Chain A
Amino acid sequence: MTDTLTIPSRPRAFRPATTEPTVVKGALIALCLAVLTVLLFAPLIAVFEEALRRGWAFALASLSEPDAQSAIWLTLTVAAIVVPLNAAFGIAAAWAITKFDWRGKAWVFTLIDLPFSVSPVVAGLLFVLMFGANSALGAWLVASGFPIVFAVPGIVLATLFITFPFVARELIPVMLEQGRAEEEAALTLGASGWRTFFTVTLPNIRWALLYGVLLCNARAMGEFGAVAVVSGKIRGQTTTMPLMIEMFYNEYLSVAAFTMAGVLALLAFVTLTLKTALEWRYADQLAATHRH
């Protein structure tokens, strides 16, 4: 603003037509920070505070107990089985849906999303009904020494159900957007189907795939409700990390419960960090509008 001109009245600072008054801005930012502090940050801090209440050594000792060790091991095992299967499904479904035209696509798309609107507890119930000792199939499986419910296969199945849409949902929009031209070009140049997939398709979708795998893994390792129903909670055998947290908590082993929770919270940090890094660097190669 120059002083050479006398501007008669300037009642208020000029505000562009697409912004709110500073007071409103400040109030909204403050509101958001307050709610997020009370809802997100405070609980997170509480986890570590409770875990370290009796010091690092005590917390770490609780992790080296056999029950805790086997829970960690089981969770890693389940994730190692579920995530690759889920990724394979996601890639296959995305390929079938985006590279071919067929009737009923929209229906299949809806069915893939179905597990999102089913309670985890109901998901667990499904497999108890199918393979539990009360069903003919289940009784036969138990008799032949291959129980599914109250055993690791049931945990894997329930986790697969819960994480079912993750990779497919991430890949389908990305592959739809990329179209078929590049694959067609590779085919005209004489590449085989698998060669086309590995040299053309996969490089184009790798970040989206990683993104989906990341979310799938986080959910697989953290699933509680569905696993609680099918696992039978046999200590040292079918107790995953989230279930172990509940057991410790109910036994008033607060430090052990919160230490285990802290480990999973660290996993969540890693997931969020990698996810954010992917979003910043490869935003154009992700289905950003569908993210969650």
Chain B
Amino acid sequence: MTARPFTLRNPTPMPGWGLSFGIMVTMLSVIVLVPMGVLLWRGFVGFGAGGMWEVVNRPRVWSALELSFRAALIASLFNLVFGVILAWVLVRYRFPGKRLIDAAVDLPFALPTAVAGIALTAIYAPNGVFGSVIQDTFGIRVAYTELGIWIALIFVGLPFVVRTVQPVIEEIDRETEEASATLGASRLRTVTHVVLPMLAPAALTGFALALARSVGEYGSVIFIAGNLPNVTEIAPLLIVIRLEEFDYDGAVAIAIAMLTISFALLLAINLIQIWSRRRMGAV
């Protein structure tokens, strides 16, 4: 028997603590924490909160930030509703090609954003397949307007809600739905009062992920957006423009503004989550 002596520092015989913890902390620091720290230091210490506010508090920056968050919210709301429907269809219904569709849902994760950007632009541009039809029948331009930004962000955030909600639907106990029916509830009422509340926490998680992703999205948007200052210029693009002008303070200020708003939104969603999870208990 090779009995290993217990040490105070590591009260487990499991090996590899020093190595694994060391690699983890080193890489986390070098890749994520120190760079984030440098950004915040540059902003709050180097430039100062007052200076940053001056940069942000200009019409062009405001409208870019507003556009980024508005479009991300609209796209994520669409994805919230559509994602729940799609997850339901994929779990509960049987139809030809279902497995293909299921696999295709992840396409936005796998397809590089630049590819998505030029492809969406190609079909939604005024001379594109859908773009021309939409323009002729409704008189609406899609590409090079805010509508185009919505489309790109819907594409980018599409899989999140589907993938968080799908496993929850698979686990719903059919008896719960049957119980609702035996109590006299119509199918519609069962869905709205019993099924959807059960899906809500997962759907909200997916919504938050989609939102976080689409607020900062750059690659798929810039091709289709038109990038007109004050109209279709998103916040990440404005950071790029500031950098190209070597206005580092300006870029830092906009970046910190984006991070602040994002984290405030995600925190709010998280609090709603905790509250709704607590209500349901750990079952």
Contacts and interface: CB of A to CB of B under 8 A. Distances in A.
Interface of A: 17-21, 25, 28-29, 31-33, 35-36, 38-44, 46-47, 50, 85, 88-89, 91-93, 95-97, 99-101, 108, 111-112, 114-122, 125-130, 132, 134, 157, 160-161, 164, 180, 183-184, 187, 190, 192-193, 196-197, 215, 218-219, 221-225, 228-229, 241-243, 245-246, 249, 257-258, 261, 264-265, 267-269, 271-273, 275-276, 288-289, 291-292
Contact of A245 (B16, B118, B154): B118
Interface of B: 2, 4, 10, 12-17, 19-24, 27-28, 31-36, 38-39, 42, 82, 85-86, 88-89, 92-93, 95, 99, 101-116, 118-120, 122-123, 128-130, 151, 154-155, 158-160, 163-164, 167, 174, 177-178, 181-182, 187, 190-191, 209, 212-213, 215-219, 223, 235-237, 239-240, 243, 246, 248, 251-252, 255, 258-259, 262-263, 266
B163 A187 contact: no
12 contacts: A31-B85, A43-B119, A46-B129, A111-B32, A112-B32, A121-B218, A122-B255, A129-B38, A129-B39, A245-B114, A245-B115, A268-B112
A25 B93 contact: yes
Q: Is the interface of B mostly helix, strand, loop or mixed?
A: helix
A69 B34 CA distance: 35
Given A17-B177, A288-B167, A268 B236 contact: no
A122 B239 contact: yes
Nearest to B106: A272
B181 A17 contact: yes
A140 to B, nearest CB: 15
3 closest Cβ contacts across the A-B interface? A119-B216, A222-B112, A193-B15
Contacts of B32: 111-112, 114-115, 161, 164
Contact of A222 (B39, B111, B178): B111
Given A17-B190, A35-B86, A130-B35, 5 more contacts: A29-B95, A100-B10, A125-B255, A261-B115, A272-B107
Contacts of A43: 116, 119-120, 122-123, 155
Contacts of A36: 86, 101, 104-105
B14 A187 contact: yes
A248 B236 CA distance: 22
Nearest to B39: A126
Contacts of B219: 120, 224-225, 228, 242
A120 B248 contact: no
B115 A161 contact: no
Contacts of A271: 110
Contact of A108 (B24, B34, B39, B85): B24
Contacts of A33: 101
A245 B219 CA distance: 11
A125 B31 contact: no
A46 B123 contact: yes
A18 B118 contact: no
B101 A89 contact: no
A119 B257 CA distance: 12
Nearest to B219: A224
A7 B31 CA distance: 73
A35 B30 CA distance: 42
B31 A164 contact: yes
A292 B159 contact: yes
A222 B114 contact: yes
Contact of B177 (A18, A29, A130): A18
A29 B93 contact: yes
Nearest to B239: A121
A265 B111 contact: yes
B19 A190 contact: no
B17 A96 contact: yes
A213 B105 CA distance: 19
Contacts of B120: 43
A272 B243 contact: no
Nearest to B202: A289
